[in-house]
Amino acid sequence: MIQIDDAGSGSLIGGTCIGTLRCETGEYYYEIIPPILYNKNNFKSKSYLYYTTQIVKNALEELKVINTENIEICQGYMFEDAREYLKSINYRYEGTRILDPLQSLIEKTFEEYSIALGLPRDFIIYTKYPFHLKRLLKWVYADYENRAKYCKTGWKSWARYGFLPTKIYYDVIYKSNYICLKCGKRIINNSKVKVIKICDSENIKIFLHDKC
């Protein structure tokens, strides 16, 4: 049995992981769709869907999948073009919801990819990554110039939340359970902190070490 699935397509941060697994042997192949394919022009032309198909092609070749093997492929929109491709080459497939073993494996892969981008491991766990958009925006605004490039900037949510004004000031936190969202290290009790306030209706506050 071959399973094909994605992880991260619903995350503002990062690209999308496309993974393929041969369940019986544990052979696993994945690639990441780069965030640039989610910029305004590429997102509008759905370039990420065609890139997904190319990754599926690469996986079939790498794992030497033959057309008599059963394939389960995610029924979601990410594989619209890929399913048509499998149909065109007469491969046996079923569009379905993908569960384990691939589901947990590909989610772990995307989590490690996100950490490699700079997201703190504890922060990912806390936010139940990748679904809390506004919490992820806090990480972006903590170092906007260096992190905006990792976002899916073709999304409507980016147009709404990606260019908000901010205000910076300094304060003291006497009892802290915060992580500095710039360096990823803990903010200790009784610390002077830099505060970035995102000036929207919610006035979201981001806490950094005062020197970060």
**pLDDT averages per 10-residue partition of the chain, 212 residues:** 96 95 97 97 96 98 96 97 97 96 95 90 64 84 96 94 95 89 91 93 90 94
pLDDT tens digit sequence for 110-145: 999 999 999 888 767 665 555 578 888 999 999 999
Q: Does domain 2-115 have CATH number 3.40.50.300?
A: no
The answer to whether 177 and 183 have CB atoms below 8 angstroms apart is no
What's the pLDDT score for residue 126? 60
CA-nearest of 145, 148, 42, 97 to 136 is 148
The answer to whether 34 and 42 have CB atoms below 8 angstroms apart is no
What's the pLDDT score for residue 139? 93
- State both tokens at 45: 């032309």
Q: How far separated are the first and last CA of the chain, in Å rounded?
A: 49
Q: Where are the domains of the chain?
A: 2-115, 121-209
CA-nearest of 178, 196, 212 to 141 is 196
What's the pLDDT score for residue 128? 57
What's the pLDDT score for residue 178? 87
16-22/93-96 β-pairing: unpaired
CB burial class (10 A; 0-12, 13-18, 19+) of residue 43?
A: middle
The answer to whether 106 and 3 have CB atoms below 8 angstroms apart is no
pLDDT tens digit sequence for 4-30: 999 999 999 999 999 999 999 999 999
